[in-house]
Chains A and B, each alone.
Chain A
Amino acid sequence: MLEVNNLKTHFKTQDGVVKAVDGVSFSLDPGETLGIVGESGSGKSVTSLSIMQLNPKPPAEYPEGEILFEEQNLLEASDSRMQEIRGNDIAMIFQDPMTSLNPVFTVGNQIREAIRIHQNVSKTEAQERTVQVLRDVGIANPERRAKEYPHQFSGGMRQRAMIAMALSCNPKVLIADEPTTALDVTIQAQILELMIDLQEKYGTAIIMITHDLGVVAQLADKVMVMYAGRAVEQGTTDEVFYDPLMPYSWALLRSLPRLDTAGEVRLLPIEGTPPSLIFLPKGCNFNARCPFVKDECHEIDPDLVEKKPGHTAACILSLEEIEERKSRVDEELGVGS
């Protein structure tokens, strides 16, 4: 349904070209959940904004690639066509529910606006639908709540209202950009539960963007790991979590403090910091921090290649070399894989 091929989003700045997204490809089927993980600055949010065509142009440019939604390339779609798609076919939930709702309009008003723009319905029908979606996302007293302003909602409630707005037109794709990062864990659990329920009910495809590997493990069917603007590993959730084939994903999993490990485990930090997106290193972007680095890594820039059926990774090490190095470090750390 949604297919992104070799997407490149570059920003022209005074200091040079920032290659925020540099050749990312993935596809999404109806009802599926794709998790995009990566650190801040890895290009996850720019990828989602590119799909929505919400990157300001200039400075954003799309030198290459295509975003096919139901066979249409969104990079070439007219502004008015994008208006029709945005919010109606592809909807988005942003990270910060505080700033993404307009404080001077009531919540109901803002949801009604989305419905009235996209669907040919009367005011009363739009009002009924607004109350209905607010009820769907678990807001008690939706009739009364619709008349309230965002500041009268708590953080979790605002995020529910955002989800209600995103779902008000029954979108085919829902892009959730760190939807629970600003929330407390008990509220995060509520929101994630809600998203799972709604996906089952409406069959929406979800792109879940997060830095929290736990959230991905809970929700996603497949995972794309991003680093410095590139997709460095793609596979099903089980493949990426149990058998990571790119040293970055592996190291990320080893660096996490987790709740489910018994006894004392020393964390294995990834040394250094991500590279500047203007001056990317020669060779592999991860070479300065990679625990398995070898000489060739400073020369060859690895492509994302299929290491196992359906499971791709961007690393010049062969499958055997990666497995061997992973088990060696695990033995030193004293953890079972």
Chain B
Amino acid sequence: MSENPNGYSGEHLLETTNLKMHFPIKAGILKRTVGHVKAVDGVNLKVRRGETLGLVGESGCGKSTLARLILRLLEPTEGEVIFEGENILEYDRRRMLRVRRHIQIVFQDPYASLNPRMTVGNIVGEPLKTHRIEGNRKRRVQELLEVVGLNSEHYNRYPHEFSGGQRQRIGVARAIALNPKLIICDEPVSALDVSIQAQVINLLRDIQKEFDLTYVFIAHDLSVVKHIADRVAVMYLGKIVEIADQKTLFDEPRHPYTVSLLSAIPVPDPEKERQRSRVVLTGDVPSPANPPQGCSFHTRCPRAQEYCTEHEPDLIPQEEGAHRAACFFPVEEGQRIEEPATSTPYRAGE
């Protein structure tokens, strides 16, 4: 199954360069474009083969749009999506269909993402049909159902006969049907009950090992991401504001937004909760149609200085090279977020 037309064997399976999605806002009778919602605004990402890249952020930060851009379900305004060394945005329909085999998605809502009129067998078998995979389709589907922890006798049942967790398993079976290389998981557990979440998280980890999969795992819940991701990227208003390996990001976050996001999450431990000092951000996320000048986080940032309102930070490498944060005054180790930052902007202009 691992035929590789380009003989590509680079370290990065997926790469996006300066990816932008600006949705036009139309108004008036003439439906003239009066502005743009900058849902994704210049995202550079590299996803290594076999890793799980966690993508976190609040609602409206552009994480789901980014997923759709990678799958080319949306045509980006600007930028490149490079899969196995080739820019798939230049592909025609036929070549696109071929590459889609290797990029699959698991959706958030297990109720809306399965057609209620199709049997489980047809749902899971549909990708095999679309891509004209030869062989005994029924047997293959039954195998897949067993891989995801369902019963092969479920073949002829309909989605409504299953619980949320089981439906999500069906969605996972469909995603792995074509032996893909990359699976985009768009909030795969956030619609599930707590006791069911762990089942699906463990399943995703198990099949990753078994089938050598690469994940882009989108979630708003940082505790879920901590459990599954090798590296984590934090998004805010269409941009990546911090990226690092899992341990570094959770132990030594640099960007004030990451710090406050981490401190906002309640921990199921009463003693720790009593001792924690929480950074409560004021205000709401600004509208992506009209993002603030300079650093897009400065309106809510407790450390913001004059400088931040005028200049836009790049993803600046921190002490450890792979750790990057888009902040002029990053939170230093052991420092509280409210403490005044150093007076000179960190590595500005480098």
Q: CB distance B58 to A241 under 8 Å?
A: no
Which residues of chain A are within 8 angstroms of B342 by Cβ–Cβ distance? none
Give the size range of A's interface with the partner: 35 or more
Picked from B165, B221, B261, B267, the residue with its CB within 8 Å of the CB of A260 is B267
Which residues of chain A are within 8 angstroms of B196 by Cβ–Cβ distance? 269-270, 273
With A and B bound together, what is the CA distance between A64 and B208 in angstroms? 51
Smallest distance from the beta carbon of B188 to chain A beta carbons, Å?
Answer: 13
Which residues of chain A are within 8 angstroms of B278 by Cβ–Cβ distance? 189, 193
Best-surrounded residue of A187, A193, A215 (most CB of chain B within 10 A): A187
A192 within 8 A of B: yes
With A and B bound together, what is the CA distance between A193 and B266 in angstroms? 12
With A and B bound together, what is the CA distance between A266 and B202 in angstroms? 8
With A and B bound together, what is the CA distance between A213 and B166 in angstroms? 23
Which residues of chain B are within 8 angstroms of A268 by Cβ–Cβ distance? 198
If over half of A's interface residues share one DSSP class (helix, strand or loop), that class is named, otherwise mixed; here it is helix
With A and B bound together, what is the CA distance between A40 and B207 in angstroms? 28
Q: CB distance A186 to B261 under 8 Å?
A: yes
Which residues of chain A are within 8 angstroms of B197 by Cβ–Cβ distance? 255, 257
Q: CB distance B202 to A258 under 8 Å?
A: no
Q: CB distance A259 to B223 under 8 Å?
A: yes
With A and B bound together, what is the CA distance between A190 and B280 in angstroms? 6
B205-226 interface bits toward A, Cβ cutoff 8 Å, 1 = contact, 0 = none: 0000000000000001111101
B254-276 interface bits toward A, Cβ cutoff 8 Å, 1 = contact, 0 = none: 00000011111111111111000
Q: CB distance B195 to A259 under 8 Å?
A: no
Smallest distance from the beta carbon of A152 to chain B beta carbons, Å?
Answer: 13
Which residues of A from 253 to 273 have beta carbons under 8 Å from B?
253, 255-260, 265-271, 273
A90 within 8 A of B: no
Q: CB distance A241 to B270 under 8 Å?
A: yes
If over half of B's interface residues share one DSSP class (helix, strand or loop), that class is named, otherwise mixed; here it is helix
Name the residue of chain A whose CB is nearest to the CB of B165: A273
B194 within 8 A of A: yes
With A and B bound together, what is the CA distance between A242 and B273 in angstroms? 13
A188-231 interface bits toward B, Cβ cutoff 8 Å, 1 = contact, 0 = none: 11101100000000000000000111111110000000000000
B115 within 8 A of A: no
The interface on chain B, measured as residues whose beta carbon lies within 8 A of the other chain's beta carbons, has a size of 42
Q: CB distance B198 to A267 under 8 Å?
A: yes
The answer to whether A215 and B267 touch (CB under 8 A), given A252-B195, A259-B226, is: no
With A and B bound together, what is the CA distance between A253 and B250 in angstroms? 21
B98 within 8 A of A: no
The answer to whether A259 and B194 touch (CB under 8 A), given A184-B58, A184-B220, is: no
A251 within 8 A of B: yes
Picked from B223, B250, B271, the residue with its CB within 8 Å of the CB of A256 is B223
The answer to whether A217 and B273 touch (CB under 8 A), given A39-B194, A188-B264, A257-B226, is: yes
The answer to whether A273 and B163 touch (CB under 8 A), given A40-B193, A241-B269, A257-B226, is: yes
With A and B bound together, what is the CA distance between A222 and B220 in angstroms? 28
Picked from B201, B272, B281, the residue with its CB within 8 Å of the CB of A186 is B281
With A and B bound together, what is the CA distance between A251 and B195 in angstroms? 8
Which residues of chain A are within 8 angstroms of B272 by Cβ–Cβ distance? 217, 260
Q: CB distance B264 to A211 under 8 Å?
A: no
Name the residue of chain A whose CB is nearest to the CB of B203: A269
Q: CB distance B222 to A186 under 8 Å?
A: no
Q: CB distance A258 to B280 under 8 Å?
A: no
A330 within 8 A of B: no
With A and B bound together, what is the CA distance between A270 and B58 in angstroms? 28
With A and B bound together, what is the CA distance between A268 and B282 in angstroms? 36
The answer to whether A187 and B194 touch (CB under 8 A), given A214-B266, A257-B201, A259-B267, is: no
Q: CB distance B267 to A258 under 8 Å?
A: yes
A104 within 8 A of B: no
3 nearest CB pairs, A to B: A214-B266, A269-B198, A189-B264
Q: CB within 8 Å of A: which residues of B?
A: 58-59, 163, 165-166, 193-199, 201-202, 220-224, 226-227, 250, 260-273, 278, 280-282, 284-285
